Amino acid sequence: MTNWLKRNQKNGSFLAAPTVVWLLIFFVLPLVIVLVVSLMSRGRGGVAELPFTLAHYARSFDVFSIILWRSIGLAALTTVVCLIVGYPLAFFISTRRRRRAQQITLFLVILPFWTNFLIRTYAWRILLGDEGTINGFLMSLGVISEPLSLLNTQFAVLVGLVYGFLPFMVLPIFASVERFNFRYVDAAHDLGANDVRTFLRVVLPLTMPGVLAGCALVFIPSVGAFVTPDLLGGAKGLMIGNLINNQFGGSGNMPLGSALSIVMMAVVMLSLLVYVFANRRDTGA
């Protein structure tokens, strides 16, 4: 068995070939195309044509920066809320004594995935609408006399994003907490640390890999979210994904859409770099 492994380690590059070819065709090549298109001019009907220009990047950082910052802000807020809600939840699940209870709670976290994301987001429209479930309930209780404007706001987008991406926060943290040895807590207590100190100096650092992975998994798709702001945000909750999508219709602007995509990719790359470095420092490598 070990001989077999050793023999094949030499052929590592050969074994990786299918993946490399796959990445070249379906990742590198499209990326190069997007990059080239982003540097071209807009022709009739929004298609790309020569000559090359940087105008679309200039425009991306000009008026579009408002929406870009809004997207980054909303994604960051989503990540923070998911962390605040998800961390205790992951702890709750992994500290269930009975295996069965743990399985059931974990199952409940994954359960929403059984229904299509689009349908679940539409459901939020019905919940948040002016004549929707939440307003109807509050008005029947007499808490409010006029319906609250919930739908078509950035708040609605935040709710939709947190709802949609919470499992991506819970699962990696759960995996981290699972591996956490609770005897460390006893040890910290024995050495005189109080609960807060124990949490900050022992529990949090040891579960940090899960926290970082969860944050990356929530932040990255949130920045580029398209369906959630489209259905819940209306005119006031527009995000960069919607504007990029608009550029690829018949009379849009494909080079501008490509430039915006590249800028968004840069934002995602930056946050991934933060993740990698934080992780490295964390594991002491």
Partner 1 sequence: MKKILLLLCVVLLMAPVALAQDMEHEPWTCPEGYEGQTLSIFNWSTYIAEDTVPNFEEACGVTVNYDIYESNEAMLARIRQGNPGYDIVVPSGGTVQRMAEEMLLIPLDLEMIPNVANIIPDLLGPAYDPENEYSLPYQWGTVGVGYSTEVFPDGITSWNQVWEHDGPVAWLDDRQTMLGIAHLFLGNDPNTTDADEINAARDYLLENGGNVVTVAADDGQVLLERGDVDIAIEYNGDILQISWDCECDDYTYAIPEEGSNVWIDNLSIPVDAPNPELAMVFIDYILDAKVGADLTNYIWYASPNQASIESGFIDEEILNDPAIFPPAEQVAKLFAIIDVGAEAEELINNAWDELLIFLGQ
Query: Footprint of partner 1 on this chain (CB under 8 A)?
Result: 42-47, 59, 63-64, 66-67, 126, 129-131, 149, 151-152, 234-238, 243, 246, 248-253
Q: Give whichever of 115 and 133 is closer to partner 1, judged by the CB atom.
A: 133
* Long-range contact pairs involving 95-103 (C-beta distance under 8 Å, separation at least 24): 95/177
Min dist CB 21 to partner 1, Å, is: 25
Residues in the chain: 285
Nearest-10 Cα torsion for 67, 218, 118, 146: -60
Q: Give whichever of 172 and 255 is closer to partner 1, judged by the CB atom.
A: 255
Burial of 232 (0-12, 13-18, 19+ CB in 10 A): buried
| Cβ–Cβ < 8 Å for 269, 219 | no
Min dist CB 242 to partner 1, Å, is: 8
Q: Give whichever of 45 and 88 is closer to partner 1, judged by the CB atom.
A: 45
Min dist CB 159 to partner 1, Å, is: 16
Q: Give whichever of 128 and 202 is closer to partner 1, judged by the CB atom.
A: 128
Min dist CB 92 to partner 1, Å, is: 37
Min dist CB 251 to partner 1, Å, is: 6
C-alpha distance from residue 187 to each of 88, 92, 162, 181, 199 (Å): 22, 21, 36, 11, 12
Question: How would you label 113-140 residue by residue, b for 16+ Cβ within 10 Å and e otherwise?
Answer: eeeeeeeebeebbebbbeebebbeeeee
Q: List the beta strands (DSSP E) in the chain.
A: 40-42, 48-52
3-state SS assignment for residue 1: coil
Q: Give whichever of 67 and 169 is closer to partner 1, judged by the CB atom.
A: 67
Min dist CB 46 to partner 1, Å, is: 7
Q: Give whichever of 10 and 44 is closer to partner 1, judged by the CB atom.
A: 44
Q: Give whichever of 143 and 235 is closer to partner 1, judged by the CB atom.
A: 235
Q: Closest Cα to residue 156, out of 218, 242, 235, 64?
A: 235
Q: Give whichever of 128 and 170 is closer to partner 1, judged by the CB atom.
A: 128
Min dist CB 246 to partner 1, Å, is: 7
Min dist CB 17 to partner 1, Å, is: 31
DSSP structure class, residue 209: H
DSSP structure class, residue 46: G
